[in-house]
Every structure is written in structure tokens, then in C-alpha cells.
């Protein structure tokens, strides 16, 4: 069997739930403790304000540089817009996609680095940007009519996979996938050794638990990755379907991963070098492997992320059409 119709997905709910419940026990105990504190009896020694007395509390401190704080009314209005114009509630666009264009957006945070193995990899900024440069072995279905609440894994760098037995998965890589034409990798073809190198490196990172049940990783040939588990791990496919498990080339050391990221993804850094500044520019990867409806992806030629020092600049620029999207819009009563 290959794809998703096998033990690894049909048993995901049962096995995954059992494992998650084991970890959830700690959370439940913590929540129970909070509940007990909040539900103390009437004998607690607490001062109750008398009639007409206003309870005192800490005085709010203004944040330097921000004067236009969202009101309760603006937040409620923003929530209404988010619900009304959420893409799930809109009809699928019928216009055919066109190649070209420069997408400009303002964001709240530029990533501190591009290293999937480095610290803060699960923060918002890093995975969002990793997805531009890298691919995973698998990804979650994200088409317009897919139910994202029950999204299944599908192949990305893996053309398909097979469940050999309860503890063995064999992935067959897509042929002809190249890394971006940036030193020191220079448009080399992806191989199974890159996958093995990457997954073994993740064993010593904040996401090491993803690979806890992995006994060994084998590479019979350049296009085949065999993962042998110490026990059934039906959750594994979902865990490796996010940007936190991006596949790296074996040539990249720590400095290269942080400052000179090279992947197989749709975009590459302008100049191939990252410097923590207030702007990140991505250029279309001309060798990207994915084709949709006869058109090589990505559609865009360029994508720019900016982090204005003054949030009002982002807001006004979005209103005036200077930016295509803004992470600040709903926070400041647009």
C-alpha cells in the first residue's frame, strides 16, 4: 500500500490519542490545580470590596511608539470581518492563475535565523519563512475543498510511501528534484542521504520527540528512504508534514543553515544570504520541481516581507494599496 490508505492513517486516531493523552495528563493536572484555586470555599481569607468601593489594580503601562490601541468595539468588528471573509466561507476563485508579480506584505516579526535545527523553530516567524525555502518529505492536504480539520498527509518530496509492516515505512523520493543553485550545494539533486542527515540531526533539537520511536534510517539507494521504528508510530506522518521538519542538504553546517539557507522550495533568498534586518526578499526558484495545471510553480516572481518600525506605516500602506497584506491590519482597528 502507499499514500495514506494504510495502518499509519487508519490507526492514527487510536494510537495518537493514547500518546497525546499521556502528555495531556500533566496539562489536566495543571488545569485542575488552577480550578481548585479558583473554586476555594467561602472561608478563604480574601478581602471583598464593600458597596460603592472600586477594586484597585495595577496601572496599565503604555507601550512606547504605539498610541492607537484597539478598542473592544474594534476588536469585535475585526472578528466579524475575519469570519465573513475567511477563505473557507468564500467561493473558490474561478480566474486562472497567472505567472509573475511581486507580493509585498508587512509582518510583525522577521525571523532571527533560517535554521530548522536551531532554537525557536516552533515560533511563528521561523516556520512561516522556512516554507518559502524548504520542502518536507510529506505535507498536509491544503486544496480549496479540503477539510483542514481532518487534513491527511500527502507526498511532497516523497512521490509515495509504503507501509511494509507495523514498524516500517519506505519512502520513494521524487526524481529530478534539485536544491537551489546556491553555494555550497549548487543545484545538486536531492538524495536519500539528505533525508537521513536531516532526520538524524532533528534528534538533538526541540522536536526530538517527533523521532523518539525511530530506531534507524536506511538508504538502500539514492531515491529510497526506509525508516524502521521501535514501535508502531501512526502519528509520524502528520508530525513530519510541517515546515519544522524541512529537508536540508548534507553540505549545510550551522552557520550555513542560519545565514545561507539552501533548500528545494519554491523561493530562494535574494543574494542567497540572510541578515536579520527589517526586510526579507524572496526570488522565484527557477528550478522548482512542482507543476500545477501545466504551470511551473511558484506563480510569483518575487515576495517581500517587511517589518516597519512604526506599525502605523504598515496600516496606512495597506490602506493605500502599497502592501498586498498586513499582519497589523486587524490589530489597529482597520
How confident is the model at residue 21, as a pLDDT? 31
SS (H, E, C) the chain: CECCCCHHHHCHHHHHHHHHHHHHHHHHHHHHHHHHHHCCCCCCCCCCCCCCCCCCCCCCCCCCCCCCCCCHHHHHHHHHHHHHHCHHHCCCCCCCCCCCCEEEEECCCCCCCCCCCCCCCCCCHHHHHHHHHCCCCEEECCCCCCCHHHCCEEECCEEEEEEEECCEEEEEECCCCECCCCCCCCCCECCHHHHHHHHHHHHHCCCHHHHCCEEEEEEEECCEEEEEECCCCCCHHHHCCCHHHCCCCCCCCHHHHHHCCCCCCCEEEHHHCCCCCCEEEEEECCCCCCEECCEECCCCCEEEEECCCCHHHHHHHHHCCCCCEECCHHHHCC
Q: Yes or no: say if 97 and 295 are a contact pair by the CB < 8 Å rule.
A: yes
Q: Which set of grid coordinates corresponds to residue 46?
A: 480574601
What's the pTM? 0.71
Which structural domains are found in the chain, ordered by start?
7-22+67-91+100-332 (3.40.190.10)
**Count of beta carbons in the 10 Å neighbourhood of residue 210:** 21
Distance of alpha carbon 198 from alpha carbon 246, whole angstroms: 8
pLDDT for 281: 92
φ/ψ of residue 199, rounded to 5: -65, -35
| Residues in CB range of 4: below 8 A, 6 or more apart | 152, 153, 154, 237
Query: With contact defined as beta carbons under 8 Å apart, do 328 and 108 qualify?
Result: yes
Confidence at residue 332, expressed as pLDDT on a 0 to 100 scale: 47
pLDDT score at 221: 98
Whole-angstrom distance, CA of residue 265 vs CA of residue 288: 7
Residue 119 CA to residue 117 CA, distance in Å, equals 7
In Å, what is the CA distance from 237 to each residue of 165, 213, 267? 15, 13, 25
What pLDDT, on the 0 to 100 scale, is given for residue 13? 39
Burial 219-232 (b: 16+ CB within 10 A, else e): beeebebbbbbeee
Q: Is the peptide bond before 226 cis (omega within 30 degrees of 0)?
A: no
Q: Cell numbers at residue 224, please?
A: 529510497
Q: What is the pLDDT along the chain (334 residues), one digit of tens a residue?
A: 445 444 444 444 333 333 333 333 333 333 333 332 333 344 444 454 455 555 555 565 555 555 555 555 666 777 887 788 777 788 888 888 888 999 999 887 777 777 888 766 556 667 778 889 999 999 998 777 767 777 889 999 999 999 999 999 999 999 999 999 999 999 999 999 999 999 999 998 888 899 999 999 999 999 999 999 999 999 999 999 988 899 999 998 887 787 889 999 999 998 877 777 778 899 999 999 999 888 999 999 999 988 887 888 888 888 889 899 887 654 544 4
Q: Do 274 and 132 contact (CB within 8 A), yes or no?
A: no
Residue 8's alpha-carbon distances to 47, 167, 171, 229, in angstroms, are 56, 10, 13, 12
Amino acid at each position: 500500500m502507499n499514500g495514506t490508505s494504510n495502518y499509519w492513517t487508519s490507526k492514527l486516531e487510536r494510537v495518537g490519542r493514547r500518546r497525546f493523552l499521556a502528555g495531556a495528563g500533566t496539562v489536566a493536572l495543571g488545569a485542575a490545580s488552577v480550578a481548585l484555586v479558583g473554586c476555594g470555599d467561602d472561608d478563604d481569607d480574601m478581602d471583598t470590596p464593600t458597596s460603592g468601593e472600586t477594586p484597585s489594580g495595577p496601572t496599565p503601562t503604555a507601550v512606547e511608539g504605539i498610541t492607537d490601541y484597539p478598542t473592544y468595539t474594534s476588536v469585535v468588528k475585526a472578528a466579524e470581518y475575519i469570519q465573513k471573509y475567511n477563505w473557507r466561507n468564500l467561493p473558490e476563485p474561478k480566474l486562472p492563475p497567472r505567472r509573475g508579480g511581486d507580493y509585498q506584505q508587512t509582518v510583525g516579526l522577521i525571523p532571527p535565523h533560517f535554521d530548522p535545527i536551531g532554537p525557536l523553530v516552533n515560533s511563528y516567524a521561523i516556520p512561516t519563512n522556512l516554507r518559502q525555502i524548504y520542502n518536507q518529505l510529506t505535507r498536509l492536504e491544503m486544496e480549496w475543498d479540503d477539510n483542514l480539520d481532518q487534513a491527511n498527509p500527502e507526498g511532497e518530496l516523497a512521490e509515495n510511501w509504503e507501509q511494509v509492516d507495523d514498524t516500517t515505512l519506505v519512502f520513494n523520493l521524487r526524481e529530478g528534484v534539485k536544491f537551489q543553485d546556491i553555494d555550497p550545494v549548487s543545484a545538486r539533486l536531492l538524495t536519500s542521504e539528505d533525508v537521513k542527515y536531516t532526520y538524524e540531526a532533528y534528534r538533538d533539537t526541540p522536536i526530538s520527540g517527533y523521532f523518539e520511536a525511530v530506531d534507524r534510517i536506511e538508504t538502500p539507494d539514492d531515491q529510497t528512504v526506509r525508516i524502521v521504528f521501535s514501535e508502531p508510530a501512526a502519528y509520524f506522518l502528520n508530525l513530519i508534514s510541517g515546515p519544522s521538519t524541512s529537508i536540508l542538504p548534507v553540505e549545510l553546517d550551522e552557520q550555513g543553515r542560519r545565514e545561507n539557507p539552501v533548500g528545494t522550495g519554491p523561493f530562494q533568498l535574494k543574494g542567497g544570504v540572510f541578515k536579520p534586518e527589517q526586510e526579507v526578499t524572496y526570488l522565484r526558484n527557477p528550478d522548482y520541481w512542482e507543476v500545477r495545471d501545466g504551470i511551473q510553480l511558484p506563480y510569483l516572481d518575487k515576495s517581500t516581507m517587511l517589518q516597519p518600525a512604526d506599525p502605523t506605516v504598515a496600516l496606512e500602506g495597506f490602506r493605500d494599496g502599497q502592501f498586498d497584506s498586513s499582519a497589523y491590519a486587524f490589530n489597529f482597528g482597520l
